Amino acid sequence: MSYPILFRSIYLERVWGGRSLESKLDRRLPPGQMIGESWEVADRPGARSVIATGPYAGWTLGQAISCHAESIMGPEYPPDHPFPILVKWLDCRENLSLQVHPPAEVARQLGGEPKTEMWYMIDVDPGAELMAGLKAGVTREQFDTALHMDDLQPLVHKIPGAVGDSLFVQSGRLHAIGRGNVILEIQQNSDTTYRVYDWGRAGLNGMPRPVHVDEALQSIDFCDWEPEPKRITRCGDLLADCEAFRICKEGFAGGAILRYPAYSPPVLISVVSGAIRVRGSETREYPRGTNLLLPYDGDFQVSGDWEAEILVTDQFSRGSSAPPDEKNRPTFS
């Protein structure tokens, strides 16, 4: 049977969140909450996506893989391994913390998980920025001094935001998403984040949010100077290519159809503009904001309207990732 796997969104309140996903993605959000994250595809302790339609409806993603790993992920994928990718929509009404995710070797030493991610901007307020890496020439010593003087902002590289830009954020890159951005984030299945600085604000409970300065200083790549985004990416562009995943942007100009035959590696489809149609055992339309998993054993054709654009994430099903540890770790954004 060729059914795409669609998930129920998991909405998370954040001190920096808002209500923009209602208007930007036509979502019905929990009332009275400032929603910063919508986890679209997740297989983590405490946050497991529930499948919305098809033969696995009502199952969690983890349960489906445990029982049908070959059908969903392919014959080489271990059924006891979690789904290796986490997909989120982020509504950033205020700055996120200045933070870093640990590289693999550092993560092992600190008891965390490495995390590499990619951001794709779908809505950007005038003047909105991204922060990534350090300004050219900034040294570890200068960073330490500025940290103790509470004056880090002048050392951080800032990038004006634009709809259609993307930014690859590998483990070890100092970063923060600035206020006024709505972003699709596709990342490794990890939630280990070390905050360096949080703008002096309180959390949802009214208390200062914790920072993890020692861990962050061990994780930051101090030779990562002034990275630049991929500007206003076009259909056919490769946005990210790393050990954990590959992401391409695709469109449907001239009536193009993307084909994903049965017994080819699974892919994630993220609709970033317009609407698409997926033909398998049945044909359904999916609007902007949808994230779908096309499983290994399905036979699919994907088409779209003239303005439809999608991100296609693949090469994540090699089965090399270990299951995330159930122990508590910093899981802040």
Residues designated catalytic: 195
How many Å apart are CA 96 and CA 179, to the nearest integer?
A: 8
Rounded Cα distance, 147 and 229, in Å: 26
- Contact present, 95 and 176 (Cβ < 8 Å): yes
CA distance 320 to 95: 34
Backbone angles phi, psi at 323, to 5 degrees: -60, 145
Pairing label, strands 275-279, 283-287: antiparallel
CA gap 131, 227 in Å, rounded: 10
